[in-house]
Every structure is written in structure tokens, then in C-alpha cells.
Chains A and B, each alone.
Chain A
Amino acid sequence: MPREMMKKKDEGKVDKVIDKLSESFEDNRLSTKKTDLLSYSHDYWPISLHWMLEDKFPSIPNAVVWPEDKEEVKEVVRWCYKGRVPLYPYGGGSGVLGATVPEKGGIIIDLKRMRSLQVDDQDLLVEADSGLNGYYLEDSLNEEGYTMGNIPQSLYPSTVGGWVGTKATGQFSTKYGGIEEMLKGIEVVVPPGKILNFKPHPRTSTGPDLRKLFVGAEGTMGIMTKGWFKIWPYPERRIKLSYASERLEDAVESVRKVMRRGAEPAVVRIYDEMETKRHFYDHEDIYGKIATVIIIEGDEKIAEVEREIVEEEFIGEYKGEGPVDHWLETRFNVKEASEFVPMGVVFDTIEVAVNWSNAEELYERVIESIKPIKGVLFASAHASHFYPQGICFYFTFAGTPPRKKDAESFYQQVWSEAMKAVIGSGGTISHHHGVGRQRKDWLEDELGGGLKMLKDIKEKIDKRDIMNPGNLGL
């Protein structure tokens, strides 16, 4: 058994709910086996991975259930609500902020056995079940001549429901948008066990947009069972461009002007000097400069016009397709975490967004806030998503805790300093990873009185606080 286990409250109530569920779920879709409970005790939050490496399991569920349709999801919600048992929706487990960690015990509901999809060619929509694998969806669409354009680094392990839950966005978002823009309709199960269906429309002016209540709610408001997403014809043209600039501000300013003129390259990534060296060490002519890789795609004619706009605006030397191909080949590589984290290196990423007017200040302040912390080896960033109004910076840091400091405190110190710098620079604390359990303490700084409103809404929907309790600080 785990060496450290959280003492769970109300075991009796949980057991009764599990008994009830076992009447409808066969053995292989409801489990209280140790292997399953431990497997769902974490997600890809570095803190929870660290627990696993240390053989510590402070948060384990009492049971895991795998529904196959919305009626089964409804039943799970109903019984958990009745028994006041915490319920945590689970997708691909690739979230990096602990959103699925079952901190109060209870039941994990894994949606991955719900995975059907249906394409509507005329309306350019795909109807996808919550548990559908990201790559499965995109590859199936590509096969039929479409793309959804949501290509997060977690495309391979993540699910559609996870994308909506975390308000995710992908590497090609500058053209295709974030998941909130793709989502046109949603089916959810909310406490005490009701199915709500918000059908897809091109646009609707019917009061506040309730679909959005579930986007980024990270399982605190209900469980998405299905979504309708906009899709695009598979791009007939792809143009790859790269540049080397002398200064970060030159590259940033170039992209600002491109966006201002209405061009929407699918991918734009600007690497600061250190990340250029790290990612493009085998491109000698870029090394030590500021690398930018750009992919423009879509209709042939539109793509050509966008290329012209980029070429007119970019301050930097054109470097061809090579660096873009390199990025395409390496963009899903996450091996460094496997190599270094078990050796005691603390390593993480922090993605934030800021308007153009504060972009430079935010970048400088975050880097300057992390680097002086004792034990930090490096802090760097690239800009990965762009809007006419601003930019997302994606910071990476690594280090080892100094003597007399444990890894978790060191990690939290870095995060705390970075978050303060972001808020102080007028940025938003999260761009696409969400909040989870890691960022919840800064949500009040971000939302102000809005946090109380969010809590009130949550209480109205989920009076017994069963839906992912504690997540988002709700």
C-alpha cells in the first residue's frame, strides 16, 4: 500500500455510492483496485509527479468509474450528489496544474470510453464525445479533408473534454483560435444529475452565453459529455518562413504589425536568445539571435497575401524553411522532463498573456524575478500565440533547490515570484494551461470581485460542492 495516504473523510458515504454505482457498472468499468486508485492520484502537474517519484500519494480517490454515455455520466453525478461525494472529471491526465488531483478523495470519472465523432460537411462542424483522443480526432478529420486546427503539445495524450475543461489552445491558434472559439455547442451533465444541451449555432444572442460557463471550468461546474466544434477544409497551401532578428523587440514588433494588418499566420513562435540557442543549436546562422518561425496555411490565395504581409513587416533576416521544419519535427518532444526530473531537477513552464503595450515589460520582469532565486539555473521564454491585442509568453525555468529547501518550496517560490511579476506588469496569470490547484491562490488577484461571483455561480449549480472541489480555489 502507499506509504503515505490521505485519511479520507466520510468513507461510509463513499462506499454507499460505490455500492449503488456497482449495480449499473460492471466490474471492468468501476474499480476500487489499488492499481487504478494510484494511477488516478496524479496528473501531469510536476508536484504530483514529484509525489509519485517519492512514493507519496497524498490524494487518492476511493473509486474510478468509466461511463460510456451521457446517461451513465448522469447516474454517476446523481449518486455522488446524493451522497455528497466529490467527483473529478478526468480526460488525458496531461494537465500540468493539478486540476484532476482528487484532493478530497471521492470518485474519478474518466470519460475516455466516450469517443465517437461525426462530421457535418455542410455546416463545417464536428460533433465529438468528451473522451475522444485529440490525435484521433485531428487525424480522422485530416483523412476526410478537414482540420480543427487545435494542435496542443499534448495532442497525443489529451482529450476533447480536457481541451474544453482547461480552455486549451494549440500551436496553430493564431489562425484557428482557442478551443473557446471552436466550441459552438456543448452537452453537459450538471448536479444534481441533469443533462443540458446547448446546440450549435453560428452565433446566438440569447442572453449570457452559458456554453462558456463550462469552458475553462476544469470540471467544477459540470461534466462535458459532447461538444460541437467548428472545422476547416484541410489547408491547400502551407508556407513556412523563418527569421533571425537582432533584438526580441524587433521580432515582437514585426508580429504586432502583421496582426494589426489582419494577417493570421497559423503558427508564430518567437524565441528569446537563450531559447534560440537551446532549440536551434544546429542552425549556426541563427544561434545567438532571436529566431522566429512562422507557418501560414489555408486557401492558396489568402496564404500568398499573408506571406506578402509578413515579408513586408518582418524586421530580421529571412532564414528559409529549415528552422520551421526543425520545429515541426521536434514540437512534441517532452523527453527532457523524463531525463531530468527524476534526477532532482525542478523544471516547469509558465504561460501567460499580455497586451502589446506591456509585453516587453512583462517579459523582462518575469525573467528578472525568476533568475535571482537561489538554485535557479535558467529562465527563458518564447512567444507562442498572438492576437491583434497582444501576445502569450511561455516561460521555462529549471534549477535545483538549495540546501535546506525542499523541491516543492523551491518550485512554489519560483511560481510565486513569476506570478507577482505577471500581475505587476498588467498580464494575465494563465494563457492556456488553466488554473488547477497550482494557480488557484492567484485567482483573486486576477478576478478581483469576480471570484466571489464565480463562487456564487458554482454554489448555485453545485450546492453540495461535489464537482472537483477545491479546484480553481472554488
Chain B
Amino acid sequence: MPGRWDWLKEELSGISMLTKLPTMTKFLKGKISGPDDMTKCSMCPNMCRHACPISIVDGKETTSPAGKSRVGMMIENEVLSLDRENLLPIHMCLSCGCCVVWCPFDFSVSDILRPVKTRAVEHNIVYEEFVELFDDLRENGTIYEEIEDQGDLPDDGDVLYLRGCEYREGDSEVIDRTMSVLKKVGTDPFVIYDEKCCGIPAYNTGNIGLFEDLIEDMAEKIRGSGADRVVTSCPSCAYAYKELYPEFDQNIDAEISHIVEFLEGKKLKFAPNKNTDRFTFHEPCKLVNGLGKKESMQDLLDRTGLELEKPRRNGDETFCCGSGGTTVSRLNEELSSEVARERLSELKSLSDEIITSCPTCKRTFEDNDEEVKVHDIAEIVDGLL
């Protein structure tokens, strides 16, 4: 079998060494070490533009995926100074990972640009909106002002259910329904009352120092719970615990799953569907692209027997709700809402009953449209089990 570069070797065989050496050297350098990722991304004609929710909605080169990398490259090359105005396009990223799906290098623009964001934070070049967030995270350990846990949930059992800031702040109903699902599948779920933020908002904004502090605290809490199984409602939390914590040397022995992952492969006996409503669904980007569960939510929904309308953008072509990535919704609320409305318009053309599996997506859709009814998947599953 010929090798990948045999054609080139054959082509060069007729050319004198003196002529071919400079090009060969550059070619090989390109292949072996190559330019850095930001430069590579900058040199792309935006082959993921169609998948980037910001790019589709905002319509600007500056906030397109490769466009953000170009701004990053210009900052790194000191063509642009490292200041709030120049950093703004870089922060117009939902960290949804929709770009990765289409990138031949598997680049995540969010990851590529994180070092620039981190350098900015290190130089104290931050926005007021970030300062507030950092204060809340540092002082309260959540993205909100201090959350007072309601209800009477068990603090001991065999499956640790981490509810996440969003549901702890505003949706005790989903928490109860998730606990109910976990019980119905034969586990003994419990919570920890001093649950804190997983840290991902700090990570997204480039505050790696704060992120490290938060994850040290939270990892210790999870380890201290003694659970060997952890379930989350938020796919970003699950992504942080599973993927980011080990990267930052915070290993958790317990098996961690988002609720959809947890139910995957479980024997679930659903009651016959008497619901005549038609539903549509929205797969959260962190579940699909972050945790790599491209079909899990659809598979679970298919098993419920509900009448489902599949949106055009589904699976790994899903679309962000508009609030992913922490930064856009804080720095450009209108753009965040535009992304939400773009997604809602697609979903509402199918049904006003939307099922999702992310607290942030649920809250974002509810905030942007009073007509739609947004269900967490746990509510649906609990109702049918």
C-alpha cells in the first residue's frame, strides 16, 4: 500500500536536491510540528461557520470561528493590544463545541482562545460582569448570590445527585423529579447540602486560578461524600467533573454521569403513552459535543413512546440555546437572546412542548418565550416510569 506522501517523494525524485530542499523542509515542518493551533484555525476559511450559532446569528467575520482565532492571533502578535474592546469578539463564544464536529484538526475555538482569555485575567483585564461573577463564585461558591437549599432531601445514600446551581436556585420541581427517577431505577439518591459550583464558569471566562480553587473544593466534597456513583442534571457539570477535573489533577474515583448517560442502557419500563401532545426536543451541546453522547437523548426519548418531532439541527449538529459558555449571555445579552430565538423558532415550528436535558437551556428558553413549555427530561421520564 502506498504511503500518504509517496506521491510527493515520487514527484521530487526528478528535482535536484538544491531546488527541493527549502520547500521540503517547510513542508515537513508543516507536517511534523506545523504552526500553532491558533494560526492553523486562522488560516481556515471558516469551514465550521455554518455550525457556529454565534456566526450564523451575529453574521460577523469578527465573531466567526476562524475570525475569533484571527483576532486572537493579532493580539498574540501585538497587532492588537490586549484590552477589553479587542477581547470582546473572543468572548463571543458559547463553548458549544459545534465547531469541533466539522474541524479536520478537531479544534475547539473555545479551547484555542482560552490562553488569551487567561492572560487577560492574569493582567486584570476583565469586564465588570466578570468581576461580579468571580465575586459570587469566590464568596458564595455559586454563580448566584448564596443559594439556600429548600426541601428535605436525604443526605445519605448510594448515588450522589449533584443538582447544579441553576436548579438549586430556581427549579426544585426538577430536582424532586430527578430524585424520583433515581429512586424508580432502584438507587438510593442523596444530595450534599454544601454543593458548590463545578467551576466551569471560571474556566470559560479564563480565570484558571479561580477554577482551580473551586474544583479543589468541589472535588473534595464529592470524594468526602463516599459515593461511588454521581449523577448530574447539568451536562456542563458532568463534563467538568469527568473531563476537566482530571486535566487539573483533581481525580474523582466515583463514576460520573449526566442523567441521560445514567439512564442509558438501564432497563426502563415506561407506561403506555396516553399523552396526545407532540413534543420536540433540544439536545444540549455539552451533552452531545462535550460528553460525546450524540444519540443518547434521542434514544432515551424514543423509548418513552412519546410523539416526537425531530428538529433539523439535532445530534452532533445541535444548536446552542444561547447561554452556553458563560461569557456571551453576560457581555452581550441581546446576542445571547438572538441565538435563543433562532433555536426557539426552529423548535416552535414543530411544537411548543420542548424537552431538554440541561438546566441552562431550560431557563434560557423559558426566559425568551412565554408560550413554550420546556421540560427537563427527568420530568418526562418520571411521569412515564
Partner-B contacts on A (CB < 8 A): 1-3, 28, 33-36, 38-40, 44, 49, 52-53, 55, 57, 64, 66, 90, 92-94, 110, 112-113, 115, 131, 133-136, 139-140, 143, 154-157, 274, 277-278, 281-282, 284, 287, 332-335, 337-345, 374-375, 377-378, 398-400, 402
Segment from B56-64, B145-153, B245-253 that makes contact with A:
B56-64
Interface: B113 (CB within 8 A): no
* 17 A-B pairs whose Cβ atoms sit less than 8 Å apart in the complex: A1-B79, A35-B62, A38-B74, A40-B61, A131-B59, A133-B49, A156-B47, A156-B48, A156-B50, A277-B6, A278-B8, A287-B2, A334-B44, A340-B26, A340-B30, A343-B35, A344-B26
> A400 vs B104: C-alpha distance in the bound complex, in angstroms?
25
Contact A343 B105 (CB under 8 A): no
* Interchain CA distance A342-B38 in the complex, whole Å: 11
Asked if A277 contacts B88 (CB within 8 A), the reply is no
Residues of B within 8 A of A113 (CB): 58-59
Interface centre among A284, A340, A343, by most chain B C-beta atoms within 10 angstroms, is A343
A35 engages B89 (CB within 8 Å): yes
**Which residues of the other chain, A, contact B40 by a CB distance below 8 angstroms?**
335, 338-339, 342
Q: Within 8 Å of chain A (Cβ to Cβ): is B11? A: yes
**Those of B42-91 within 8 Å (CB) of chain A:** 42-51, 56, 58-62, 64, 67, 70-71, 74, 77, 79-80, 85-86, 88-89
In the complex, A17 Cα to B53 Cα: how many Å? 32
Q: Which listed residue, B1, B8, B22, B45, touches A157 by the CB 8 Å rule?
A: B45
The answer on a CB contact under 8 Å between B3 and A281 is: yes
B61 touches A136 (CB 8 A): no
We find that the number of chain B residues with CB closer than 8 angstroms to chain A is 61
Return the chain B residue nearest A33 by Cβ. Answer: B85
B104 touches A333 (CB 8 A): yes
**B7–A277 contact, CB under 8 A?**
yes
Question: Is B29 close to A, CB under 8 A?
Answer: yes
User: Given the complex of chains A and B, what is the CA–CA distance between A411 and B31 in angstroms?
Assistant: 22
A334 touches B47 (CB 8 A): yes
For the complex formed, measure the closest distance between the CB of B67 and the CB atoms of chain A, giving whole angstroms.
5
With A66-B59, A133-B56, A377-B12 in contact, is A335–B105 under 8 Å at CB? yes
Identify 7 new A-B residue pairs, CB closer than 8 A, beyond the known A39-B71, A338-B44, A375-B22: A113-B58, A139-B312, A155-B50, A157-B45, A281-B6, A377-B20, A377-B23
Interchain CB contact under 8 A, A38 and B334: no
B41 at the interface (CB under 8 A from A): yes
Given A66-B59, A154-B45, check contact A2 B7 (CB 8 Å).
Answer: no
Whether A343 pairs with B50 at a CB distance below 8 angstroms is: no
Q: How far is the CA of A66 from the CA of B48 in the complex (A)?
A: 21
B292 within 8 A of A: no
Contact B60–A110 (Cβ < 8 Å): yes
CB-CB nearest in chain B for A49: B43
**What residues on A are CB-neighbors of B105 within 8 Å?**
335, 338
Are A52's CB and B2's CB within 8 A?
no
Q: In the complex, are the beta carbons of B60 and A36 less than 8 A apart?
A: yes
B88: chain A residues at CB < 8 Å are 35
> B305 contacts the other chain (Cβ, under 8 Å)?
no
A64→B63 CA distance, assembly (Å): 13
Residues in A with CB closer than 8 Å to B29 are 343
B155 to chain A, nearest CB (A): 48
Q: List chain A residues, Cβ under 8 A from B71.
A: 35, 38-39
Pair B334/A28 contact, Cβ less than 8 Å: yes
Tell me whether A339 and B7 are in contact (CB under 8 A).
Answer: no
Known: A35-B85, A281-B3. A342 touches B47 (CB 8 A): no
**Chain A residues near B35 (CB, 8 Å)?**
338-339, 342-343
Residue among B1, B23, B39, B71 with most chain A CB within 10 A: B23
Query: In whole angstroms, what is the CA distance A110 to B41 when docked?
Result: 22
Output the least CB separation between A197 and chain B (Å): 23
Docked-complex contact B7 and A66, CB < 8 angstroms: no
Contact, CB under 8 Å: A278 / B79: no
Q: Are B80 and A93 in contact (CB under 8 A)?
A: no
| Cα–Cα distance between A24 and B2 once the two chains are bound (Å) | 61
A110 & B12 in contact (Cβ 8 Å cutoff): no
B20: A residues at CB distance < 8 A: 377
Among candidates B6, B45, B61, residue contacting A334 with C-beta atoms closer than 8 Å: B45
Query: Given contacts A94-B45, A342-B40, are A110 and B50 in contact (CB under 8 A)?
Result: no
A357: min CB distance to chain B, Å: 30
A284 in contact with B1 given A2-B79, A378-B11 (CB within 8 Å): yes
Given contacts A33-B85, A112-B59, contact A92 B46 (CB under 8 A): yes
B157, CB-defined interface residue at 8 Å: no
Residues of B within 8 A of A277 (CB): 2, 6-7, 10
B324-347, CB < 8 A from A: 332, 334-335
Would you give the shortest CB distance from A312 to chain B, in whole angstroms? 31
A284-B2 in contact (CB<8A)? yes
In the bound assembly, the distance between CA atoms of A40 and B77 in angstroms comes to 18
Complex-state Cα separation, A229 to B58, whole angstroms: 25
Residues of A within 8 A of B51 (CB): 156
State the CA gap A66–B8 with chains docked (Å). 45
Known: A66-B60, A339-B40. A35 touches B80 (CB 8 A): yes
- B22-A400 in contact (CB<8A): yes
Q: Is the CB of A339 within 8 A of B31?
A: yes
